[in-house]
């Protein structure tokens, strides 16, 4: 089974790591460390940033440690981002002329917020930086599953839940609800319905677009950003480059993950690109074959997965909307990644939202 996306977990995501311990899947994760390798297609060069060696802020005075083509003054952008307010967009704070724009701010913003710099909330980005990069290398390393998310998260979580005698009713979506006297009294599913008791609690754990179908009076984000993943079948055993994760700059592809038997390429905030599906695949393959010096070999078998609504467009305007959810029925709680509004929509945020609710209920 291949995943729909190459979900990265940072070592700062302590709730994710705690959950994996609870569901006994922590041994199925692999730690890739803090050394991030990049390939810049414009410069035709590899370079890497090892956060263990790069001692911020003192490292910026050493040219050899600095990100290629960056000047000391470019690093003032880290101070600027600390001073942002909730209305600021990343693109307003960091100029495209800044020597770190293409090599750091753009890939970091698009990777973390799945939103283009010109739209992305600088406040959300600042909050991530404060929890990761600014805390040091121990909070900025990468975890991924050894095999797949199915094996590291989905199956172990299902097993854990079933051991608690809870049934999951798959493939049966909630279509609507009945509200009486400010309380949900009935859940109407695709298959069947359920009348509720007076002391029942309803928890929605679905994306804002689907919450909005059921509660149309809520003012929630209407714009979403896609993430594209293309998995190319390839014998990856004898590649010269041994890095498993490589960031790509000045290219269509953003990240390539070298897996057992395939390359997996991720493109975030791919709003324009996903319309050019066929053309895109061949362009991406050209980038991969160049990166791994595959001598322009013919495009192999591939599988493309487009998540059209991977996350909501994480702009200041939408951040304000998800923050101000009011007037929901008294016996309803809403959780999910997007409800942790001071952080981006990620697995960690989703877990925190569930954990906070459990803490409220016990
Ligand atoms: C391609 C891709 C790459 C990503 N990369 C990363 C990454 O690198 N790191 C990271 O931390 N996060 C990443 N994310 C985001 C991460 O996947 C989400 O933040 C996380 O899955 C959100 O979990 P959730 O449970 O809150 O919501 P979801 O995973 O969206 O789950 C909501 C569930 O509700 C169900 N549902 C919806 N409507 C109804 C209904 N009416 N009735 C019943 N059920 C319903 C859906 O079927 C779904 O199972 C990525 C997402 C995508 C798509």
Mean pLDDT of 254-270: 96
Q: Please state, in angstroms and rounded to a whole number, the distance separating the CA atoms of residues 177 and 305.
A: 32
Query: Which of 338, 292, 353, 290 shows the shortest CA–CA distance to 114?
Result: 338
Distance between Cα 98 and ligand 1 center (Å): 34
CB neighbours of residue 49 within 10 Å: 19
Mean pLDDT of 241-257: 96
Mean pLDDT of 178-187: 98
pLDDT tens-digit series, residues 138-170:
999 999 999 999 999 999 999 999 999 999 999
Residue 296, pLDDT above cutoff 70 = no
Find out whether 299 and 195 touch, Cβ atoms under 8 Å: no
User: What is the CA angle 160-162-165, rounded to 5?
Assistant: 120
**Ligand 1 touching residue 268 (CB < 6 A):** no
Mean pLDDT of 252-268: 96
Mean pLDDT of 127-135: 96
Using pLDDT thresholds of 50, 70 and 90, give the confidence band for residue 241: very high
Residue 123, pLDDT above cutoff 80 = yes
Find out whether 316 and 121 touch, Cβ atoms under 8 Å: yes
Mean pLDDT of 216-242: 95
Find out whether 331 and 200 touch, Cβ atoms under 8 Å: yes
Residue 18, pLDDT above cutoff 80 = yes
Question: Which residues are registered as beta bridge partners of 247?
Answer: 38, 255
pLDDT tens-digit series, residues 91-111:
999 999 999 999 999 999 999
Joined together, the tokens standing for residue 6 give: 């190459």
Residue 77, pLDDT above cutoff 90 = yes
Mean pLDDT of 208-213: 97
CATH fold for domain 169-222+314-361: FAD/NAD(P)-binding domain (3.50.50)
- pLDDT > 70 fraction of the chain, expressed in percent and rounded: 99
Using pLDDT thresholds of 50, 70 and 90, give the confidence band for residue 333: very high
Beta strand extents in the chain (DSSP E only): 9-10, 29-33, 35-40, 45-50, 142-145, 174-180, 183-189, 193-195, 202-204, 224-233, 245-249, 255-259, 262-267, 302-312, 332-334
Q: Is the peptide bond before 59 cis (omega within 30 degrees of 0)?
A: no
DSSP state of 66: S
**Residue of minimum CA distance from atom 44 in ligand 1:** 173
Look at residue 59 in the predicted model and tell me its pLDDT: 80
Distance between Cα 198 and ligand 1 center (Å): 30
pTM for this entry? 0.95
- 3-class DSSP state for residue 275? helix
Domain edges within the chain? 48-140, 169-222+314-361, 224-312
Q: Please state, in angstroms and rounded to a whole number, the distance separating the CA atoms of residues 12 and 54.
A: 18
Q: How many helices (H) and strands (E) does the chain have?
A: 11, 15
Beta strand 9-10 pairing with 202-204: unpaired
Mean pLDDT of 22-38: 96
Mean pLDDT of 340-358: 97
**Ligand 1 touching residue 185 (CB < 6 A):** no
Answer left, alpha or beta for residue 167, where phi above 0 means left and psi between -120 and 50 means alpha.
beta
Find out whether 37 and 246 touch, Cβ atoms under 8 Å: yes
Mean pLDDT of the chain: 95
Joined together, the tokens standing for residue 199 give: 């002391």
CB neighbours of residue 85 within 10 Å: 9
**Ligand 1 touching residue 206 (CB < 6 A):** yes
**Residue of minimum CA distance from atom 24 in ligand 1:** 336
**Ligand 1 touching residue 346 (CB < 6 A):** yes
**Residue of minimum CA distance from atom 21 in ligand 1:** 347
Could you tell me the CA-to-CA distances from 127 to 86, 227, 257, 269 in Å, in that order? 11, 22, 26, 20
């Amino acid at each position: 089974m291949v995943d729909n996306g190459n979900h990265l977990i940072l070592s700062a995501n302590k709730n994710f790591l705690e959950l994996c311990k609870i569901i006994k899947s922590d041994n199925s994760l692999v730690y890739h460390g803090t050394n991030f390798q990049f390939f810049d297609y414009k410069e035709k060069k590899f370079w890497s940033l090892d956060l263990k060696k790069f001692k911020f802020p003192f490292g910026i005075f050493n040219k050899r440690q600095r990100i290629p083509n960056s000047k000391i003054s470019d690093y003032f952008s880290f101070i600027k981002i600390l001073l942002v307010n909730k209305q600021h967009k990343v693109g307003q704070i960091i100029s495209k002329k800044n020597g770190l724009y293409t090599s750091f701010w753009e890939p970091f913003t698009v990777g973390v917020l799945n939103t283009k710099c010109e739209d992305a909330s600088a406040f959300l980005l600042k909050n991530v930086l404060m929890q990761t990069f600014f805390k040091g290398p121990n909070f900025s390393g990468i975890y991924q599953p050894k095999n797949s998310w199915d094996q590291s998260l989905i199956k172990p979580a299902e097993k854990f839940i079933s051991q608690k005698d809870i049934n999951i009713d798959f493939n049966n979506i909630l279509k609507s609800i009945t509200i009486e006297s400010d309380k949900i009294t009935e859940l109407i599913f695709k298959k069947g319905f359920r009348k509720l008791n007076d002391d029942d609690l309803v928890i929605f754990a679905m994306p804002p677009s689907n919450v909005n179908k059921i509660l149309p009076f809520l003012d929630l984000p209407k714009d979403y950003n896609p993430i594209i993943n293309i998995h190319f079948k390839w014998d990856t055993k004898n590649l010269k480059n041994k890095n498993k994760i490589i960031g790509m700059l000045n290219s269509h592809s953003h990240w390539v993950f070298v897996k057992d038997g395939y390359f997996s390429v991720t493109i975030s905030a791919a709003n324009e690109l996903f319309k050019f599906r066929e053309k895109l695949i061949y362009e991406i393959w050209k980038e991969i074959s160049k990166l791994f010096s595959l001598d322009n070999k013919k495009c192999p078998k591939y599988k493309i997965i487009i998540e059209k609504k991977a996350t909501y467009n994480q702009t200041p305007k939408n951040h304000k909307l998800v923050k101000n959810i009011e007037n929901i029925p008294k016996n309803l709680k809403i959780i999910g990644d997007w409800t942790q509004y001071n952080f981006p929509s990620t697995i960690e945020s989703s877990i925190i939202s569930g954990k906070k609710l459990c803490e409220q209920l016990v």
